[in-house]
Amino acid sequence: MLRIEGTERLPACLPGRADEFQPGERFSYSNGGYILLGVVIEELTGVKYQEFVERSVFKPIGMNQSGYFAFNRLPKRRRWLH
């Protein structure tokens, strides 16, 4: 079982509050799950989430121009997927 060392690793976007609606009633997207996924990956692998995704996903499938970039340092040949 994964044991996260200290609650300081859990982001503020995952507040301990009641659900806004019943499961299956409707859908609402939230990035909180991906942030939690990043924390879990970092705890299990000892590698930063961005580095893990680049080495384990992008590189093996040839996504050599993909990555995590600051908005003021985006590659010139970028494409936005909508």
Per-residue pLDDT tens over the stretch 15-62: 666 778 888 899 877 777 788 888 889 889 999 988 999 999 999 999
**Does 44 reside within a domain?**
yes
Q: Residue 8: pLDDT above 70?
A: no
For the cut 90, the answer to whether the pLDDT of residue 72 exceeds it is: no
Coil vs helix vs strand at 42: helix
What predicted TM-score, i.e. pTM, was given to this entire model? 0.60
Looking at the domain assignment, is residue 79 inside a domain?
no
* pLDDT confidence of residue 6: 53
- pLDDT of 2 higher than 60: no
Q: Is residue 45 in a domain?
A: yes
11 falls within a domain: no
Gap between the Cα atoms of 41 and 14, Å rounded: 17
Q: What is the pLDDT of residue 75?
A: 76
In a domain, 15, yes or no: no
The confidence score (pLDDT) of residue 7 equals 54
Question: Can you give the residue range of the structural domain that contains 50?
Answer: 31-69
Number of domains in the chain: 1
